[in-house]
């Protein structure tokens, strides 16, 4: 495979595609709402209506509006390759929400001048209109199980560009210049990480993609892996070239069977085309990718634990330094990034770092995908530019709380905090969220309304951390148990003022003395609710057993 072949594949695919694409979401969320049946009915209807020569039903990845699946979108195929065709397209984009299998026939019928009862969605709604899609640009628009569709929209061109038009140093410099920061939660500058691994002495090095997404309510990585697996493979290959690694691992949790299946398929297809494996693009450079499946431990999202798990050991974190960049997988220098981080690599290499650095704020560049869930009208995945305020996300895009008002927004999952409604004007960026006691996290965003008890929320997350602690260090193993029990006392209204003090001091201790990020951040939901909703804790203190006697002040 060389560049001419790649372009041939792309052209052949573009010629093959029919003018109209009926995209039906086949990701996990919509599948659960019977989208596969919808798709079958759509295909049958195309046959029945005699539209096979100009209409094609495509099983695509996630379109984002997961709360109202299954989603079906009619899109002229020309707009996939050139947005300017949108104005001259045969039909306007038709978008249907909550499609029932029975309604599929009429959706196709509508293309022939009929009427459909299917619920029509509004793509101009802020939920869609306010998004800025970089990682998810082709999510929900191409078939994730066919590499040709990915190649047709420009796939693997960035890898070619990196391999033949750039030196590894230039690739690292490009990523550094883009200002990209780790999307797994910590926000460590990606370029710096790459440069560290690249500067280690030549020899065996590894690239790992962390797809062990475990935060309750977060499903960004799953959606990216299910919707555009080649984007991640290409990003990893570029990373391998940049840091001098020839072997990559994708660590995906076992709870994501569809993502694993699609990744396996994608790897096979890419190998067949000579885009992965040995002699990529007929060069002397090899890069292979293997999948490792997690076994159900939240802590394996922590990088040192993940490495142990890939090695086949018990997924326990170990103290850092040495950082994986110096000594990681089998003691070799290892680059480990999150799925979404790798998802940003291809667009950066393709469009240049200046383009990327133009999105977002001064210290947080680019976009971030959030899984917007909880007490909110529009549930789903959104990709927004950094710097957008929480209010815009929650109230405009999310449509606010149905019959009620926002009380708090929880970001960062069990490691993050609850942001009260009064701080909704905070811009979404790494530093601004840390300042108010929460964190960007991997992208979970749970909206809570007035009926939510914040102590219960803290209790829930502490129970999660208690169950997910690996048990290696004492503060996390025993501290989360005691914190959880203390919070239970509050919920039972048995807590005393002394318990409140104990809660605060133990939170501080677990935060400062734990071995890894799980323990260090486990008290965050408690600390942030203590900070902003202290009165709720006080209201749950037990009533005094005796009335406090009024002492007379002695003369």
Partner 1 sequence: MSVKTLEIDGKAIAIEEGATILQAAKENGISIPTLCHLDGVSDVGACRLCLVEMEGSNKLLPACVTEVAEGMILHTKTPKLQNYQRMTVELLFAEGNHVCAVCVANGNCELQDMAITVGMDHSRFPYRFPDRPVDVSHEQFGIDHNRCILCTRCVRVCDEIEGAHVWDIAQRGEHCFIVSGLHQPWGEVDACTSCGKCVDACPTGAIFRKGSTTGEKERDRAKLEFLVTAREKRQWTR
| Binding-site ranges for partner 1 (CB under 8 A) | 297, 299, 314, 316, 318-319, 321, 466-475, 477-482, 485, 502, 505-506, 509, 512-515
Closer of 318 and 497 to partner 1 (Cβ): 318
Cβ neighbourhood burial of 441 (10 Å; 0-12, 13-18, 19+): buried
Closer of 411 and 469 to partner 1 (Cβ): 469
Q: How far is the CB of 264 from partner 1 (least distance, A)?
A: 28
| Distance of alpha carbon 45 from alpha carbon 279, whole angstroms | 45
Q: How far is the CB of 461 from partner 1 (least distance, A)?
A: 15
Q: Give yes or no for a contact between 281 and 2, defined as CB atoms under 8 angstroms apart.
A: yes
Q: Give yes or no for a contact between 207 and 335, defined as CB atoms under 8 angstroms apart.
A: yes
**Cα–Cα distances in Å, from 129 out to 10, 59, 73?**
29, 23, 16
Query: Given the structure tokens 């549930």, which residue do they identify?
Result: 379
Q: How far is the CB of 308 from partner 1 (least distance, A)?
A: 12
Q: How far is the CB of 483 from partner 1 (least distance, A)?
A: 10
Closer of 347 and 519 to partner 1 (Cβ): 519
Closer of 380 and 475 to partner 1 (Cβ): 475
| Distance of alpha carbon 179 from alpha carbon 354, whole angstroms | 9
| Distance of alpha carbon 149 from alpha carbon 25, whole angstroms | 15
* Closest by Cα among 411, 409, 345 to 181: 345
Closer of 5 and 488 to partner 1 (Cβ): 488
Q: Which residues pair with 448 in a beta bridge?
A: 408
Q: How far is the CB of 219 from partner 1 (least distance, A)?
A: 24
Q: How far is the CB of 505 from partner 1 (least distance, A)?
A: 8
SS (HEC) of 79-141: HHHCHHHHCCCCCCCEEEECCCHHHHHHHHHHHCCCCCCCEECCCCCHHHHCCCCCCCCCCCC
Q: Which residues pair with 288 in a beta bridge?
A: 247
Q: How far is the CB of 218 from partner 1 (least distance, A)?
A: 21
Q: How far is the CB of 465 from partner 1 (least distance, A)?
A: 9
| Distance of alpha carbon 545 from alpha carbon 555, whole angstroms | 29
At 229, list the tokens. Answer: 């697996």
Q: Give yes or no for a contact between 98 and 61, defined as CB atoms under 8 angstroms apart.
A: no
Neighbours of 334 (CB within 10 A): 27
Q: How far is the CB of 296 from partner 1 (least distance, A)?
A: 10
Cβ contacts of 186-191, under 8 Å, gap ≥ 24 = 186/517, 187/364, 187/430, 187/440, 190/337, 190/341, 190/344
| Distance of alpha carbon 158 from alpha carbon 166, whole angstroms | 10
Q: How far is the CB of 418 from partner 1 (least distance, A)?
A: 23
At 123, list the tokens. Answer: 């793509």
Helix (H, G, I), strand (E, B) or coil at 315: coil
Q: Which residues pair with 249 in a beta bridge?
A: 208, 290
Q: How far is the CB of 513 from partner 1 (least distance, A)?
A: 5
Helix (H, G, I), strand (E, B) or coil at 489: helix
Exposed e or buried b for every residue in 296-326, given b needs 16+ CB within 10 A?
A: ebbbbbbbbbbbbbbeeeebbbeebeebbbb
| Distance of alpha carbon 470 from alpha carbon 300, whole angstroms | 9
Q: How far is the CB of 257 from partner 1 (least distance, A)?
A: 23
Is residue 58 within a helix (H) or strand (E), and if so which, with residue range?
strand 55-60
Helix (H, G, I), strand (E, B) or coil at 67: helix
């Amino acid at each position: 495979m060389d560049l001419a072949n790649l372009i041939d594949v792309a052209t052949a695919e573009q010629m093959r595609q029919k003018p109209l694409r009926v995209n039906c979401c086949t990701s996990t969320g919509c599948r659960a709402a019977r989208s596969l049946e919808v798709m079958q009915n759509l295909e049958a209807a195309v046959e029945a209506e005699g539209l096979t020569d100009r209409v094609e039903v495509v099983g695509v990845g996630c379109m984002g509006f997961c709360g109202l699946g299954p989603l079906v979108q009619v899109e002229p195929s020309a707009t996939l390759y050139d947005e300017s065709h949108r104005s001259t397209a045969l039909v306007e984009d038709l978008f249907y929400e909550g499609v029932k299998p029975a309604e599929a026939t009429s959706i196709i019928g509508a293309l022939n001048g009929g009427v459909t009862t299917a619920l029509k969605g509004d793509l101009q709604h802020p939920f869609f209109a306010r998004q800025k899609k970089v990682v998810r640009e082709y999510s929900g628009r191409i078939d994730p199980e066919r590499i040709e569709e990915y190649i047709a929209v420009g796939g693997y061109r960035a890898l070619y560009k990196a391999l033949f038009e750039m030196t590894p140093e230039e690739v690292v410099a490009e990523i550094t210049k883009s200002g990209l920061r780790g999307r797994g939660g910590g926000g460590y500058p990606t370029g710096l990480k790459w440069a560290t691994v690249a500067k280690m002495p030549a020899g065996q090095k590894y690239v790992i993609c962390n797809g062990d997404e475990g935060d309750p309510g977060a499903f960004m990585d799953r959606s990216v892996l299910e919707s555009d697996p080649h984007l991640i493979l290409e990003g990893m290959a570029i990373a391998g070239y940049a840091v001098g690694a020839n072997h990559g691992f994708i660590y995906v949790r076992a709870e994501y069977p569809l993502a694993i299946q699609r990744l396996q398929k994608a790897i096979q297809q890419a190998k067949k085309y000579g885009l992965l494996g040995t002699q990529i693009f007929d060069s002397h450079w090899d890069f292979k990718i293997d999948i490792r499946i997690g076994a159900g431990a939240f802590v394996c999202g922590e990088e040192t634990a993940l490495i142990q798990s890939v090695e086949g050991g018990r997924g326990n974190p170990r103290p850092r330094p040495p950082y994986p960049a110096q000594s990681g997988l089998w003691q070799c220098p290892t680059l480990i990034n999150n799925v979404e981080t790798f998802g940003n690599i291809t667009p950066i290499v393709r469009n240049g770092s200046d383009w990327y650095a133009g999105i977002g704020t001064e210290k947080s560049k680019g976009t971030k995908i959030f899984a917007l869930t909880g007490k909110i009208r529009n549930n789903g995945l959104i990709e927004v530019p950094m710097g957008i305020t929480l209010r815009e996300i929650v109230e405009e895009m999310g449509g606010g709380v149905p019959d009620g008002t926002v009380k708090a927004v929880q970001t960062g999952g069990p490691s993050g905090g609850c942001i009260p409604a009064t701080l909704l004007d905070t811009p979404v960026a790494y530093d601004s969220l840390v300042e108010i006691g929460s964190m960007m996290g991997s992208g979970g965003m749970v909206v809570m309304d007035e009926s939510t008890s914040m102590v219960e929320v803290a209790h829930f997350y502490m129970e999660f951390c208690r169950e997910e602690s690996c048990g290696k260090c004492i503060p996390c193993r025993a501290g989360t148990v005691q914190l959880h029990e203390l919070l239970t006392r509050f919920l039972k209204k048995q807590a005393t003022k002394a318990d409140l003090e104990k809660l605060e001091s133990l939170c501080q201790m677990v935060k400062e003395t734990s071995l890894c990020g799980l323990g260090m951040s486990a008290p965050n939901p408690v600390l942030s609710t203590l900070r902003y909703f202290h009165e709720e804790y006080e209201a749950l203190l037990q009533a005094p057993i005796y009335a406090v006697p009024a002492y007379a002040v002695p003369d």
